[in-house]
Structure 1
Amino acid sequence: MSAAPYRLAASAEMLYLDRPFVERVRAIHERGLMVEIWDWSTKDIDELVATGAEFASMTGYLTGTLTDADGIAAFLDSAEESLKVAARLGCPNLNVHGTGLGPEGLPVTPVEVVTPDMWLTAADTLRRLAELGERHGRVFTLENLNLAVDHPGTPFASAADTMALVRAVGSPHLRMNLDLYHAQIGEGNLIELTRTAMPYVGEIQVADVPGRCEPGTGEIHYPAIAAVLKEVGYAGVVGLEGWAKADPDDALNAFDGAFA
């Protein structure tokens, strides 16, 4: 396993798909990796706790938006419910997005133009979210997404957007989830982006481009990213949020090798 200062995790939502969910969690845990999950409301939380797995990240809301009154109320209410589950799982990080995502990862309320008022309202909503995190001793992470392939119409989607909002809130309980798969599609220049974002990062997620599979299947040279993370002393989590090109064990071997 990796001797680097960071920890490695993998998404149980995207690997070992031929197994029941709890068995996916066990398989990842047995490899010595932390586990990431998405929507907790579809899971048997007691079963997940019983696996003994260490959970790195989970989705921190069920519905809602950052910029309209009804959506904000739903967002914050479901964040409070998510915090209760995070406490049961011992999960430190709860992941959120610029708006609620529906089937196939599409935004529930697509946005073509993000106005200045929307920016101010989103920052205020995230400030309230960070206050919730502080009260419960957890960190919310705001993930960047790509618009071109997976999440068209999502507001506040780019890494530049998420960084700006995290900086504006200025709380250790709201950080970036810097997803380098999404950033490669939307922005590129990943090494400099990683360096610039590092003061605001709470987690890093990876997959290769194209295809969203394990490192080594596409165009991103992840060992170079790993070298930067070691150089700057990043001690958080690097999570594989990607599909297996073929065999999940081979995918995790490639992931571990890229970040060793």
Structure 2
Amino acid sequence: MTTPAASPSAGFILAASAEMLFPDLPVRDRIIAIRDRGFHVEIWDWRGHDIDELERLHADGVTFTSMTGYTIGNLGDPQGADELLRTAAESIAIARRIGAWALNLHGTGLDNRGLPVVALPAGTEATPQMWECARHTLGRIAELGEREQVTFVLENLNLAVDHPGTPFARAADTLDLVSGVDSPHLKLNLDLYHAQIGEGNLIELCRAALPWIGEIQVADVPGRCEPGTGEINYAGVARALADMGYRGVVGMEAFASTDSGRALARFREAFTL
């Protein structure tokens, strides 16, 4: 699996989530609508999709830049880690079929509402034992990625709005874990929507994380809609990323404030230099 080509107009590889755009269409038609507007495509849990259909779409020119890279498990305890590794191996086989470049991970499995399957009790933090297990687990993930020549990406999440109780959710947590492993087969999926809610200071966060970024995801705050609908100056973020030399995937994981086609156009405008 190879990295898709960058957009010649923007310098970035622009992708969009088929899970969140064109919600009134069947999944196949959502993917085609995104592709026909010149974007690559991202999906979540592959178990909810017709893999044969995704394989046909890939053969017909759709590039899937990312998909969820596990189905159950978590980073912070040995049994959960074994489950995560087992289902990560299963996900690699699906990624090969559809040509997906990156396999996305979280601190723990998420349910259909985005809530952690194994949550931290309110007001608590991951223990030192959980951190040790997470580092060891991600080392194993990187070794799996190296053996199979694929790339896993660890996504930060926000705790205040969408994913309360998720361990290792903050951008500072994911950066600490990924940089500690320091493998080309384990990168960051740096989600700036989540980071803005949890931490802010996005340009400096990108700068600190740059050596380990495998993808950047975007949505505006509040509302999780396309760039230009909230408080984040995404045009400024785009210029800063370009100045840093980032030319990788920027994925819009956002709802459309009104119309999905217009949302994609606003996304492209923000990330075209």
**TM-score, with normalisation over the residues of structure 1?**
0.98
Higher mean C-alpha deviation, range 93-102 or range 109-118: 109-118
- 1:5 counterpart = 2:49: no
Distance 1:68 1:188 in 2: 29
Counterpart of 1:79 in structure 2 is 88
2:44 pairs, out of 38, 53, 61, with: 38
Question: CA-to-partner distance for each residue in 1:28-63, whole Å, 9 max, x for gaps?
Answer: 111111100000011111111212210100000001
- Structure 1, unpaired ranges of 5+: none
- 1:24 counterpart = 2:34: no
Counterpart of 1:55 in structure 2 is 64
Query: Which residue identity does 2:221 align to in structure 1?
Result: V
Question: CA-to-partner distance for each residue in 1:131-185, whole Å, 9 max, x for gaps?
Answer: 1111111110000000000000001011100000001111110010000000000
Distance 1:131 1:25 in 2: 32
Distance 1:29 1:188 in 2: 31
**TM-score, with normalisation over the residues of structure 2?**
0.93
Distance 2:117 2:163 in 1: 11
Structure 2 SS opposite 1:103? coil
CA contact (8 A) 1:2 1:259 kept: no
Distance 1:69 1:20 in 2: 39
Counterpart of 2:3 in structure 1 is none
- 1:67 counterpart = 2:76: yes
Distance 1:33 1:133 in 2: 26
Query: Which residue identity does 1:29 align to in structure 2?
Result: R
- 1:96 counterpart = 2:105: yes
Distance 1:12 1:85 in 2: 17
Distance 2:117 2:54 in 1: 28
- 1:140 counterpart = 2:152: yes
Distance 1:188 1:116 in 2: 26
Structure 1 stretches of 4+ moved >2 Å: none
Query: Which residue identity does 2:79 align to in structure 1?
Result: D
- 1:124 counterpart = 2:143: no
Distance 1:20 1:230 in 2: 35
Counterpart of 2:243 in structure 1 is 231
CA contact (8 A) 1:5 1:233 kept: no
Distance 2:230 2:263 in 1: 13
- 1:187 counterpart = 2:199: yes
Distance 1:158 1:147 in 2: 8
CA contact (8 A) 1:142 1:177 kept: yes
CA contact (8 A) 1:2 1:256 kept: no
2:232 pairs, out of 214, 220, 232, with: 220
Distance 1:176 1:37 in 2: 17
2:261 pairs, out of 244, 249, 252, with: 249
Query: Which residue identity does 1:13 align to in structure 2?
Result: E
Structure 1 SS opposite 2:225? coil
Distance 1:34 1:41 in 2: 20
Query: Which residue identity does 1:10 align to in structure 2?
Result: A
Cα deviation for residue 113 of structure 1 reads 2.0
Counterpart of 1:199 in structure 2 is 211
CA contact (8 A) 1:62 1:79 kept: yes
Percent identity for Structure 1 against Structure 2: 59
1:168 pairs, out of 180, 191, 197, with: 180
Structure 2 SS opposite 1:25? helix
Higher mean C-alpha deviation, range 142-151 or range 226-235: 226-235
Distance 1:190 1:55 in 2: 26
